[in-house]
Amino acid sequence: FPAVTEANIMERNMQLAETYLKRYYDLETDGKHFMRRTSSSPFSEKIRQMQEFFGLKVTGKLDSETVRVMQQPRCGVPDVASYS
Amino acid sequence: ITPGRPVWDNTDLTYRILNYTPDMAQADVDRAIEKAFKVWSDVTPLKFTRIYDGPSDIEIAFETGDHGDNSPFDGPDGLLAHAFQPGKGIGGDTHFDDDEKWSKGTNGYNLFLVAAHEFGHSLGLSHSDDPGALMFPNYSNDDPNTFHLPQDDINAIQDLYGPTTNAVKPTGPTTPTICDSKIIFDAIITLRGEIMFFTDRFFWRKHPQTPQAELNFIKSFWSSLPTGIEAAYENPETDQILFFKGSKYWALSGYEVLYGYPKSIYQLGFPKTVKKIDAAVYIEETQKTYFFVGDKYWSYDEERKVLDKDFPREIAEDFPGITQKVHAVFQKNGFLYFFSGQRQYEFSITSKKVMRLMKNNSWLGC
């Protein structure tokens, strides 16, 4: 099978993180991916919030420990505002 | 508490189960839901009555994918369920993702545990950052049969609705904090280079390469182990770990409990006067395991699988300086680390004396 390269894994983790942060931390993306890279981007800011909540090392970066917590099954946060 | 502090105007609430999951018998779903509501009614004046027709305060349904509430589910795993805060219409309603495997036990997601969490939202609670709390967002493999509502959740729900009017005011378990200098560990083991510190339902897992220890539920690693482990040790020769509670012990290899366990400690040769083991440690140099009970200890020959003769011996005689009850012990780099009360003693096996006195949580990065 084609080896899953480091870049694939990174991309997959980024996708996971973006879905997670949109769903649970109201991350808004306008579809552009470059915004994730800078440390002051909304993406990094939301990562920090999530790391803070789960008692992880607050780096704003998508490290393996943060990905591991994002992969855990959890409760959703229904979108009351837009529903009502 | 959910921002805006939404609460129900009255404490007599109704609920209706709109449909069922094919994963469980309907009676088991009914029981899980009823038990989940009881978690909250036990500690507040809240009362929950099931109705079968007409609108109820809390409508319960199993849904999949996009189910029309602007908060679609995501297939197996990931998002398990959600619930709406108190209010009219959809307020309080609870939806379970039926792409999950629901269970009354632990072979799948335990419906009772998830429902109890979701009803917390239906009553106005948000998520807690206490990893031992019911309202912690991630699914925990807690034991549904011995579940007690944690104190963090009791405090929150009583802040909204006040305490129960019952004479008995229930309290709940609290989550140990990593740098609590008063912590007393139940047991400590090394495991393939890591060190695991057990206390109540939890254990801290310290990997040599990570600065911070990670808190886990015992049940999330070994679902068939009891909580409140009293002693444990790793036998690196057999790559097994053994856990002791009362007069029983379990042998595990990795995550699996070996066939035929739990066994009785009396099968190891202990006299009936021994009711439980306080601490245990395997000594690689001699291939002996020491079992500490009260102020004495036994030596067990792992080769011959028998207790050595001329035991028990006084702990203080062979380990000068270790004079109190041993709560936990592990070996590392030629030292034995005895945990006795709130003190940790570094004991040199070769020079047979205590080299250092440390805090119990010195290994946890405190």
Cβ atoms of B152 and B174 closer than 8 Å: yes
* Cross-chain Cβ contact A80/B121 below 8 Å: no
With a pLDDT cut of 70, the percent of chain A lying above it is 74
The answer, for B127 touching chain A at a CB cutoff of 8 Å, is yes
Chain A CA closest to residue B77? A73
Measured between CA atoms, how close is A78 to chain B, in angstroms? 5
Residue B94 Cα to chain centre, angstroms: 26
Residue B99 backbone zone (phi > 0: left; psi -120 to 50: alpha; other: beta): alpha
DSSP H helix total and E strand total for chain A: 4, 1
Q: How confident is the model at residue A2 (pLDDT cuts 50, 70, 90)?
A: low
With a pLDDT cut of 90, the percent of chain B lying above it is 84
**pLDDT for A39:** 63
Question: If 0-12 CB within 10 Å is exposed, 13-18 middle and 19+ buried, where does residue B275 land?
Answer: exposed
* Cross-chain Cβ contact B69/A78 below 8 Å: yes
The answer, for B76 touching chain A at a CB cutoff of 8 Å, is no
Cβ atoms of B330 and B283 closer than 8 Å: no
* Cross-chain Cβ contact A55/B129 below 8 Å: yes
Most confident range (mean pLDDT) of A28-32, B84-88, B143-147 is B84-88
Whether B36 shows a pLDDT value over 50: the answer reads yes
Predicted confidence (pLDDT) per residue in B262-300, tens digit: 999 999 999 999 999 999 999 988 999 999 999 999 999
Predicted confidence (pLDDT) per residue in B197-224, tens digit: 999 999 999 988 877 788 888 988 888 8
Q: What is the CA radius of gyration of chain B?
A: 24
Residue A23 CB neighbour total at 10 angstroms: 18
ipTM surpassing 0.95: no
Amino acid residing at B13: L
Measured between CA atoms, how close is B165 to chain A, in angstroms? 30
Most confident range (mean pLDDT) of A6-10, A79-83, B8-12 is B8-12
* Cross-chain Cβ contact B71/A69 below 8 Å: no
Predicted confidence (pLDDT) per residue in B317-345, tens digit: 999 999 989 999 999 999 999 999 999 99
Q: Which residues contact B33 (CB under 8 A, 6 or more apart)?
A: B15, B17, B60, B111, B115
Q: Which residue has the higher pLDDT, B232 or A78?
A: B232
User: In the predicted model, what is the mean pLDDT of residues B304-310?
Assistant: 95
DSSP H helix total and E strand total for chain B: 5, 25
**pLDDT for A34:** 44
B118 assigned to active site: yes
Q: What is the dihedral of CA B43, B46, B47, B52, to 10 degrees?
A: -120
**pLDDT for B64:** 98
Cβ atoms of B78 and A22 closer than 8 Å: no
Residue B253 CB neighbour total at 10 angstroms: 11
**pLDDT for A7:** 78
